[in-house]
Structure 1
């Protein structure tokens, strides 16, 4: 299992985000799984390495924020 610092491609990011989604309440999981799938499908053909790093960094930060949001409830 790659840590969030070793995520270098879209498939690793997709798997990481799905694992993070399991930390959410069951009623929120389906929504975020769908959003993850849509985001993956819309960026899967990205070829610019800088843009890929930017997407990975932002996605990890967003996932941490969402998990923290639900863990405080």
Structure 2
């Protein structure tokens, strides 16, 4: 349980520095490294595909929403695999 609390705090500290799409991309790929090998490759592929899909997003507010949701999702996935 101590590890989970530490991982959550560490995750949120790093997540606070994510303000741009490039930093989000790096952050998400680093979070994938915390996962088991099969899950890591799956989520890395998903991250790359999502970035290709939203590459030309013109609305800055939508970009902020995507960043926020991506950070939440990354925390959920890391916690899911750390609890197993």
TM value normalised by structure 1: 0.92
Q: RMSD over aligned Cα, in angstroms?
A: 1.3
Is the radius of gyration larger for structure 1 or structure 2? 2
Question: Could you tell me how far apart the structure 1 residues matched to 2:17 and 2:80 are?
Answer: 24
Structure ranking higher in helix proportion: 2
What is the correspondence of 1:1-73 to structure 2 with a 5 Å cutoff?
3-73=14-84
After TM superposition, which residue ranges in structure 1, 4 or more long, deviate above 4 angstroms?
none
Q: Which runs of 5+ in 1 are unaligned?
A: none
Residue ranges of structure 2 left out of the alignment (5+ in a row): 1-12
